A and B are shown apart, each in its own frame.
Chain A
Amino acid sequence: MTDPGSHTNPPVDGSELIRFDHVTKRFGSNTVLDGLDFSVDAGKHVTLIGPSGSGKTTILRLLMTLMKPDEGTITVAGDQLFPASEKQVREVRKKIGMVFQQFNLFPNMNVLRNITEAPVTVLGMSKDEAEQRARELLDLVGLADKCDAYPTQLSGGQQQRVAIARALAMRPQVLLLDEVTSALDPELVAGVLDVLRDIARTTDITMLCVTHEMNFARDISDQVLMFDSGHVIESGPPEKIFGDPEHERTREFLGAVL
């Protein structure tokens, strides 16, 4: 099995990969991110925690260019995302993969084609190579026998694992995980998290993760960022944040969810 996180041009571990400078995002009169600054180093696994509505998901959506910030700049591997031309944005996008809360598999394609379509049409990979790789990835997520199934025939947990394989097939440098277990029935959560733990352990892919699964966050994270009303109020290694939080709000939040 080749390393699913490998990519043609891996950044040096520890160098800065993602950078937010003074990023502000408003929805109407509601300011979700307020002059946010933070950065993520290559190869790190970073988890964003905090109460809902604190702007965690917005950060992932901004990175994926699903929305634009009102102010500030976002840089990925030295390329600026805003402002940038459509072409430039598409280049940066290729470095980023995303797994959604609601899976967002394409119902008109079977599992195999869900995974191979983008490598073939976007990266220009040959169909055989893409399929070969898709089968390896399906094997990794434990769904080798579901190549020909359509998404509607799969359980939520299976769909989500296909979505993880689909994101990895693009060999992204960064993987964004947006509450990937929130839409799953409780008994299906473990399977998906196991796959992600595996990927975190065996690859050098940078992960940016929004989750309410605190045990999972503690397991995989190098760094945890605590968000509240558009700001990072505390950050540090998981042992520190979960074991001995400094900020009052962090204690309250962890007390409520743990």
Chain B
Amino acid sequence: MTSGLWELVLEGIWVTVQLLVLSALLATVVSFVVGVARTHRLWIVRFLAGFYTEVFRGTSALIMIFWVFFVLPPAFGWQLVPMWAGTLALGLTYGAYGAEIVRGALTAVDPAQREGGIALSFTPWQRMRLILLPQAVPEMIPPFSNLLIELLKGTALVSVMGMGDLAFSGNLVRLALQESAEIYTYILLIYFVIAFLLTRVMRGLERQLKAGVGKAPRKTVPAQARVSDGAGAVKVGGGA
């Protein structure tokens, strides 16, 4: 491979990383807003948040991407630049999965903690901010870590739209060299290294957060492997 082709790959990595960071930020915001809304005391708020998660978890990330690229512009007159379109589609979809993580962790907090908060006259929002979230967030990190890997894999989908990410750069190199095995092996290895680094970062984050609530980090059990909460499996459809 020539250095010119490697440059293509480097640009691809840069696009993938940007897309990953932006859509992870959007997905985090969506996760917390929708996840907290699912525990709201008004049924209509819970219903709307539940509807959102059902719809966005029900469909495929790739179809969402097609929709944002092809249906949104004529329908609403928005012509998003590809980076924002990709961010929107991925952030909204993976945010719906994240919302389930947030909701699950919030409901897993001992209900007695809520009662302790009521007995001290905290408002519902104060209870959420001061008591529930600080205890729930460290528990969210392992499943969020798995979701982040799924999101990284999901960023490859934008290459179908011709966005110059890492996967797309692989296709360009293949066309240039008329040879596939080498370049796709490299591309897969690069994804694997990024995933490895992300896992490391998240594990460090978990350790730090758990230290803050006076708990030792437990041994990480991959969330997918927990048979008992089959419904909480983190694998995301359409995010390969």
Contact = CB atoms under 8 A, between A and B. Distances in A.
Contact of A118 (B112, B113, B120, B213): B120
B112 A107 contact: no
A108 B137 CA distance: 11
Interface stretch (B70-78, B121-129, B151-159, B168-176): B121-129
A121 B126 contact: yes
Q: Which residue, B121, B126, B131, B134, has most C-beta atoms of chain A within 10 A?
A: B121
Contacts of B110: 104
B138 to A, nearest CB: 9
A121 B127 CA distance: 11
A153 B120 CA distance: 23
B113 A106 contact: yes
B214 A150 contact: yes
B118 A64 contact: yes
Nearest to A121: B126
B115 interface: yes
Contact of A90 (B115, B121, B131, B215): B121
A12 interface: no
| Contact count band on A | 20 to 34
Contact of A121 (B118, B122, B215): B122
Interface string A142-182: 00000000111100000000000011001000000000000
A94 interface: yes
Given A109-B134, A122-B121, 13 more contacts: A90-B121, A100-B119, A104-B116, A105-B116, A106-B130, A107-B135, A108-B131, A108-B214, A121-B126, A121-B130, A152-B215, A167-B120, A170-B121
A118 B131 contact: no
A6 B67 CA distance: 64
A230 interface: no
Contacts of B130: 106, 109, 117, 121
A231 to B, nearest CB: 26
Nearest to B123: A90
A121 B117 CA distance: 12
B214 A118 contact: no
B215 A100 contact: no
B212 interface: yes
B45 to A, nearest CB: 15
A102 interface: yes
A112 B126 CA distance: 18
Interface string A107-138: 11100000001100110000000000000000
Contacts of B120: 97, 117-118, 122, 166-167, 170
A102 B119 CA distance: 13
A22 interface: no
A153 B214 contact: yes
A66 B115 contact: yes
The 4 lowest CB-CB distance pairs between A and B, nearest first, are A104-B116, A150-B214, A118-B120, A98-B119
Contacts of B213: 107-108, 150
Nearest to B112: A104
| Contact count band on B | 20 to 34
Interface of B: 110, 112-113, 115-116, 118-123, 126, 130-131, 134-135, 212-215
B131 A167 contact: no
B101 to A, nearest CB: 19
A23 to B, nearest CB: 19
Nearest to B118: A66
B119 A167 contact: yes
A106 B131 contact: yes
Contacts of B121: 90, 93-94, 118, 122, 170
A65 interface: yes
B115 A118 contact: no
Given A117-B130, A121-B130, A106 B116 contact: yes
Interface in A37-81: 64-66
Contacts of A150: 213-214
A210 B110 CA distance: 22
Contacts of A93: 118-119, 121
Contacts of B113: 104, 106
A64 B119 contact: yes
A230 B118 CA distance: 25
Contacts of B115: 64, 66, 100, 104
Contacts of B122: 118, 121-122
Contacts of A104: 110, 112-113, 115-116, 119
